[in-house]
Structure 1
Amino acid sequence: MAGFRPIFFSKSIPIPRLNAVGYCCDRADGTRAVRKRSGYATMIFRQLFDSVSGTYSYLLASRRGGEALIIDPVLEKVERYLQLVNELDLRLVKAVDTHLHADHITGLGALRDRTHCVTVMGEQTKADVVSMRLADGDKLGIEGLALDVIYTPGHTDDSYSFVLPDRVFTGDTLLIRGTGRTDFQNGDPRQQYESIFGRLLKLPDETLIFPAHDYKGETVSTIGEEKAFNPRLQVKSVDEYVNIMNNLNLSNPKMMDVAVPANMRVGLHQDDIAARGWAVSAEQALALVGRPDVALIDLREQSERERHGVIPGAIHLPYARLQENIAAGGMLHELAKSTSKQLLFYCAFGERSAMAVQAAQDVGISSARHIQGGIDAWRKASGPLSH
């Protein structure tokens, strides 16, 4: 990443050891031995930069050859992400946006189409690409890693931050020597003040900050450093902060009129699946559940099942394991072949199950269907749930 300026830290602020480009890593290949307090022996971590939009994307995995997730991917950089995933022998299972971006087109849809990964955002999002919606207090997990989910509205009403024991990914909420603007997309400076002062600044001072954007070449900071030197955090009251944010008088992002509508409509539309005859409504599903010729498949993660309940009799098969199970010799492939059962997929809102139906049909499982609208529609139809 040529062109990055070095970062200088005050001696009074706890800081990590940095290499020449600002990564927190101890090895030449970028793999870092994480501090013992993090709970992880080693972690693969890459910070990737899009110079056009000033966007940082982050690739994380617990080990080579394992599962990976990416935070805030940019559409134009998808080929680079996939090249890196291949070079590190990783399997991309989740692509995450911290919020609905206004300055670039997200890479979530393209990564989903290329890798069949789960696309993730907060539950407040209006984006149709999202197949897993998170709430405050949830865990964002892959093999060997679990990030705490913090709702941090203010920049937008769907802004989230993701926390590991030694670092936090702050999206556009808390930047290096700045904070995200609050004058569009249902932004609210009072909410942002609470998100920053009431949530993020409560993290330990040595916590590393990795934002979604920087326009000056900065790559990383710490909570303690931002407390001391971020000019917008030196306010004495919420009213003072609100006054600053309401008087920035910034022009809109150059891509805003293109990026916002594009980022809201890049999903696999469930209506397309329904038009092919591969969907049933929640009301129709009520009559199918319990029949001996129907196998109900729950694609959600265990945390979602615990939070929202389970349709009685469903087989739990997380979406991340779908491909191996619909392939020849896989459990679902053999179930459909040997019993002629109809496979009825469902998830939280229908996005993952729509992708599962498409994938199953593509390998010849013609009996595959899904519950349109997922468990959300099932609940609205008064379908039974067990907890």
Structure 2
Amino acid sequence: MIFRQLFDQTSSTYTYLLGDSASGEAVLIDPVFEQARRDLALIAELGLRLQWTVDTHVHADHVTGAWLLKQHAGSRIAISAASGAEGADRYLQDGDTVAFGPRHLLVRATPGHTNGCISLVLDDESMAFTGDCLLIRGTGRTDFQQGNANALFHAVQDKLFTLPDACLLYPAHDYRGLTVTSVGEERRFNPRLGGELCESDFVGYVSNLRLPHPRQIDIAVPANLQCGAAASAPSQQAEPVWAPLSYTFAGIWELQPQWLEEHLEAPQIIDVREPAEFDGPLGRIPHARLIPLGDLAARSGEIAPERPVVTVCRAGGRSAQATVILRQAGFESVANLAGGMLRWRAEGRVVENAGV
């Protein structure tokens, strides 16, 4: 099984990717709208097909990426039937399963933070995804969106603490940089409802948290009640239109050699190798201009900001960093030549000044 834990720093949200390597099927839990491009890049690089996005509840601190991922990947949207959300492909009930290849996630209704909160338990009970129900040494709050402290206490005790002690728990959020806990740990050490704490202890604790409302609540909740439909979501970053670019999980826009060879005079080609390499046996791409990587930041003023830029080096590593430097300098239309000169020469593309 393929498993990845992803993080959105703005909302402190964890997104979880689970995939079956044999079938290539995958499911994504709690996707974030602004991170859809990142998620799609990772899914493509791992050779997976996204079957489902599942939101553990109607989030109040970020807009879900479910709708956007459906447009780009053809995935289907699943959310709790008690969530009140519209536009999903499937409405989940307690005891339902969400399959990816031969594996599946079991749905356990865990209301209390909201009416529609669910947790997802992997088929072998080795891990569970608890949304905002149970956090690492904490729980979800209960002071808005149909919150109910008594219901949350029983959800944790009856649906999560009944799992094996070794079962790893992955929450939808963490604000201290913690990544994972276990049922046994939380049963012993959770300061809100672990150990010998009773229901009245828990209710008194969460009723006096005095937390401010999430900053994005007025945007996030209406959008998430539509499963993140774009009409209610924040503006998506524009996709590049000057060339057919692809986005990597490393955060780099890449351009394929064939397009560049067919449009050599369209972008500015900046070769960031050293002078000896530029004049060396690999040759150089016609119209390429040499600006070594170490000089690029200081010499970025030599590059026209209104024209797209393609960076190139020996194998694509230094030129990937060159795109970062140029974006920091204010260039918007920048891409890395995938594979660099090694791939360019291996594919027999046109070069100047090549050695024997």
Normalising by structure 2, what TM-score? Answer: 0.62
SS at match of 2:192: helix
Aligned pairs (5 A) from 1:33-182: 43-63=1-21, 66-164=24-122, 165-182=125-142
Structure 2 letter corresponding to 1:230: N
Larger CA Rg, structure 1 vs 2: 2
Residue range with higher mean Cα deviation, 168-177 or 260-269? 260-269
Give 1:265 shift.
Answer: 2.5
What is the RMSD computed on CA atoms of the aligned residues? 1.5
Aligned pairs (5 A) from 1:198-237: 198-234=158-194, 236-237=197-198
The correspondence for 1:253, drawn from 207, 214, 218, is 214
Q: 2 CA distance for matches of 1:236 and 1:259? A: 33
Kept in 1: contact 2:14–2:171 (CA 8 A): yes
Aligned pairs (5 A) from 1:265-280: 265-266=226-227
Q: 2 CA distance for matches of 1:128 and 1:100? A: 11
Kept in 2: contact 1:64–1:88 (CA 8 A): no
Kept in 1: contact 2:69–2:75 (CA 8 A): yes
Kept in 1: contact 2:193–2:201 (CA 8 A): no
Q: 2 CA distance for matches of 1:264 and 1:214? A: 23
Q: 1 CA distance for matches of 2:21 and 2:227? A: 31
Distance 1:267 1:81, change over 3 A: closer
Kept in 2: contact 1:98–1:171 (CA 8 A): yes
Kept in 2: contact 1:148–1:163 (CA 8 A): yes
Kept in 2: contact 1:75–1:105 (CA 8 A): yes
Distance 1:146 1:101, change over 3 A: same
Give 1:199 shift.
Answer: 1.5
SS at match of 1:252: coil
Give 1:267 shift.
Answer: 6.7
Cα displacement string for residues 279-313 of structure 1 (whole angstroms, at most 9, x for unaligned residues):
xxxxxxxxxxxxxxxxxxxxxxxxxxxxxxxxxxx
Q: 1 CA distance for matches of 2:205 and 2:135? A: 16
The correspondence for 1:238, drawn from 190, 195, 199, is 199
SS at match of 2:78: strand
SS at match of 1:231: coil
Runs of 4+ in 1 over 4 A off after TM superposition: 266-269
Structure 1 letter corresponding to 2:189: F
Give 1:236 shift.
Answer: 3.0
Residue of structure 1 in register with 2:150 after alignment: 190
Give 1:129 shift.
Answer: 2.9
Q: 2 CA distance for matches of 1:103 and 1:267? A: 13
Cα displacement string for residues 97-151 of structure 1 (whole angstroms, at most 9, x for unaligned residues):
0000000010001011111211000111222231101100111112121111100
Distance 1:128 1:267, change over 3 A: farther
Distance 1:198 1:266, change over 3 A: closer
Structure 2 letter corresponding to 1:199: K
Distance 1:266 1:97, change over 3 A: closer
SS at match of 1:233: coil
Cα displacement string for residues 131-181 of structure 1 (whole angstroms, at most 9, x for unaligned residues):
101100111112121111100000100000000120000000000010000
Q: 2 CA distance for matches of 1:126 and 1:148? A: 21
Cα displacement string for residues 195-240 of structure 1 (whole angstroms, at most 9, x for unaligned residues):
0012200111000000000010101111111112111123532122
Residue of structure 1 in register with 2:225 after alignment: 264
Normalising by structure 1, what TM-score? Answer: 0.57
Cα displacement string for residues 320-354 of structure 1 (whole angstroms, at most 9, x for unaligned residues):
xxxxxxxxxxxxxxxxxxxxxxxxxxxxxxxxxxx
Distance 1:266 1:171, change over 3 A: closer
User: Where do 5+ consecutive residues of structure 1 fail to align?
Assistant: 1-42, 270-387
Kept in 1: contact 2:114–2:146 (CA 8 A): yes
Give 1:249 shift.
Answer: 1.2
Q: 2 CA distance for matches of 1:64 and 1:79? A: 24
Q: 1 CA distance for matches of 2:86 and 2:159? A: 28
SS at match of 1:119: strand
